[in-house]
């Protein structure tokens, strides 16, 4: 049997894996933040449906970004 529990329970390895996962989520968070800023810039550039479409897209993106932030905080708390 290959038990991966000890891998996660050994202090140094556990810390390394935790930091690696948190780093990946953080990197993705930054990437999506840049995308969100880009969407805002595009909304200023072209206004669609007198701003209705632009607002919906921006709201969806902002909600998605909040989900990633929540996951990061959750990972920070439970890992």
Binding site for other proteins (CB under 8 A): 1-5, 8, 17, 21, 24-25, 28, 31-32, 34-35, 38-39, 41-42, 44-50, 52-53, 56-57, 60-61, 64, 67-68, 71, 74-75, 78-79
What is the chain's Cα-based Rg?
18
How does DSSP classify residue 79? -
> Residue 62 Cβ, how far from other proteins at the closest point, in Å?
12
| Min separation Cβ 63 and other proteins, Å | 10
Contact status, residue 62 vs residue 36, Cβ threshold 8 Å:
yes
Closest CB 16 distance from other proteins, rounded Å: 13
Q: How far is CA 61 from the centre of its chain?
A: 11
């Amino acid at each position: 049997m290959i038990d991966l529990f000890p891998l996660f329970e050994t202090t140094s390895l556990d810390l390394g894996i935790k930091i690696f996962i948190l780093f990946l989520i953080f990197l993705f968070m930054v990437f999506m933040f840049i995308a969100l800023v880009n969407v805002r810039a595009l909304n200023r550039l072209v206004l669609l449906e007198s701003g209705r479409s632009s607002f919906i897209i921006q709201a969806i993106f902002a909600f998605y970004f909040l989900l990633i932030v929540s996951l990061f905080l959750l990972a920070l708390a439970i890992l």
